[in-house]
Structure formats: structure tokens, C-alpha cells
Amino acid sequence: MADDKAEQGNSRVDTEKARASLDRLYNIYQDIAATADDVMQTRCPYKDAKSLCRAKFGCRNQFFTSDPTSPPACAGSDQIDYRSAWDT
């Protein structure tokens, strides 16, 4: 009886509509990934939306405030390649 219900559920799936839906999603995510790849060339991936540095390593673009509990601000420009700034 459980097999009969499973077969009924599967017969309701329109495979062409499902494929079209997945293709649309793929195209959306492909565009998002392409944009992210472009942005990551100039924006530090450790810089959050408030321009705070979330890196767990040293970077010459970190600006520390007087509050020792606050993460450092990212003082770098979004127009440069950050990869050379990181301590290795």
C-alpha cells in the first residue's frame, strides 16, 4: 500500500516543468556566481557589510579602534587586489 502512494506521488511530477524550473534556477545562480567572482577580485572576502574585518589573521588594511572587543575596521579600498596585503 505504501508503494502505491509513492507511485501516485511520483506520477504527479511533470518532469519537463521540473527540468525547466531547475534550468531557470541554474541560470540565476550562474549569474550570481559570475558577479561574486568579479567582486572578489577587488573586495576583500573578510570585509563584512559594515566594513569590519573578520579575518583571523593580520592584514595591513586593518584599523584597530580603542575598543579591544571590537573587530578592526577594514581601511582598504575596494579598488585594489587585497590578496597581497594578507600576512602569510
Q: Identify which has the larger pLDDT, 63 or 12.
A: 63
HSE at residue 21, side-chain half, CA atoms within 13 A, is 6
What pLDDT does residue 5 have?
Answer: 52
In 1-88, the DSSP E strands lie at: 62-63, 73-74
Letter for the amino acid at 74?
Answer: C
Q: Are 74 and 68 in contact (CB under 8 A)?
A: no
What pLDDT does residue 29 have?
Answer: 92
Q: Are 61 and 74 in contact (CB under 8 A)?
A: yes
What pLDDT does residue 18 have?
Answer: 92
What pLDDT does residue 10 have?
Answer: 54
Mean pLDDT of 34-39: 80
Which backbone phi and psi does 74 adopt, to 5 degrees? -90, 115
- Determine what percent of the chain is predicted with pLDDT higher than 90: 28
Mean pLDDT of 9-26: 86
